[in-house]
């Protein structure tokens, strides 16, 4: 009996589909990664605030630095995060300037913690607000507690509060700025012709007290009078106007200091030329 003829298997002409499917999968993954990398992190500001608050509650300087660094650019374990990554695949190491900015923010966290604790009563009574902003640590002193209406004379019973604040200022080398704010109601008295003069005078009064009573060097301090140009609330109600009358004591961060005069030099070619008087 003759054996059956062995059948030759047909050649598989569809093997290319496997490679094609792998290629399409990789291409899809590539575009997904590119799309995710191109998205703007619109919640970064909220993340900064939340990270600082969380680190503040933990009370650990190491945790605080890690939390701030995670949002501002790269994490301490070299794993990048979203658009802000500074280390990891496709990223670069943090620049010395960015590290310096992060360090300055972290250095202000102990001041935030200490002032929040020591001034808890004043904060509860609505006399003071304390918050962290990109420009630095801001302590808002409300007029109703610190100044009589239309006056730049600091209430004498607020001396203990000023003493606590002065300790925080001496604990850090950062420059300090006193920013005066008023409501929109015009003022004209024998001492002040307008709200510009009143807001500036209150800032100067704060500067003079911290220098004369607590020895803060004047070279570290500056004064700005905003009058009613930067309100916290509407000037249409008494409550809103009350919130708009305050002096902000700002312990400046690196970002806040960048906008200060004298930090950039004018090119020699653009300097004004003096001419002899005739």
**Where does the chain hold its CATH 3.30.1330.60 domain(s)?**
107-258
Low-confidence ranges of the chain (pLDDT < 50): 40, 42, 45, 56, 58-61, 63, 67, 70-92, 263-278
Give CA–CA dist 113/122, Å, rounded. Answer: 15
Give CA–CA dist 84/48, Å, rounded. Answer: 12
What does the pLDDT look like over 83-95, one tens digit per residue? 444 444 444 455 5
Is the distance from CB of 177 to CB of 221 less than 8 angstroms?
yes
DSSP class of 158? G
In a 10 Å sphere around its CB, with 0-12 CB exposed, 13-18 middle and 19+ buried, how is residue 276 labelled? exposed
Q: Say what the pLDDT of residue 105 is.
A: 63
Q: In this structure, what token pair is assigned to residue 71?
A: 């949002």
Give CA–CA dist 129/140, Å, rounded. Answer: 5
Helix 61-72 × helix 44-58 angle, to 10°: 170
What does the pLDDT look like over 72-122, one tens digit per residue? 444 444 444 444 444 444 444 555 555 555 555 677 888 899 899 999 999
Q: Say what the pLDDT of residue 240 is.
A: 95
Nearest by Cα to 71 from 102, 28, 92: 102
Q: Which fold has domain 107-258?
A: 60s Ribosomal Protein L30; Chain: A; (3.30.1330)
Q: Say what the pLDDT of residue 7 is.
A: 62
């Amino acid at each position: 009996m003759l054996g059956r003829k062995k059948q030759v298997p047909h050649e598989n002409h569809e093997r290319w589909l496997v490679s094609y499917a792998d290629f399409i999968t990789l291409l899809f993954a590539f575009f997904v990664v590119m799309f995710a990398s191109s998205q703007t992190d619109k919640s970064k500001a909220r993340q900064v605030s939340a990270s600082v608050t969380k680190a503040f509650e933990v009370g650990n300087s190491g945790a605080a630095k890690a939390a701030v660094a995670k949002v501002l650019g790269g994490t301490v374990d070299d794993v990048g995060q979203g658009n802000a990554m500074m280390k990891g695949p496709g990223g670069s190491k943090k620049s010395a300037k960015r590290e310096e900015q992060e360090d300055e923010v972290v250095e202000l966290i102990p001041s935030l913690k200490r002032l929040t604790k020591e001034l808890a009563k004043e904060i509860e009574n609505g006399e003071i607000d304390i918050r962290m902003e990109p420009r630095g640590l801001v302590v808002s002193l409300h007029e109703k507690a610190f100044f009589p209406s239309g006056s730049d004379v600091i209430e004498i019973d607020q001396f203990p509060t000023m003493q606590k604040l002065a300790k925080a200022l001496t604990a850090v080398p950062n420059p300090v700025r006193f920013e005066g704010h008023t409501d929109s109601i015009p003022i004209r008295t024998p001492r002040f012709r307008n709200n510009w003069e009143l807001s500036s005078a209150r800032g100067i009064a704060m500067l003079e007290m911290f220098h004369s009573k607590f020895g803060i060097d004047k070279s570290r301090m500056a004064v700005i009078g905003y009058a009613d140009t930067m309100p916290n609330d509407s000037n249409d109600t008494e409550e809103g106007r009350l919130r708009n009358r305050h002096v902000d004591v700002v312990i400046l961060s690196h970002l806040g200091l960048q906008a200060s005069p004298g930090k950039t030099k004018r090119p020699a070619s653009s300097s004004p030329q003096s001419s002899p008087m005739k």
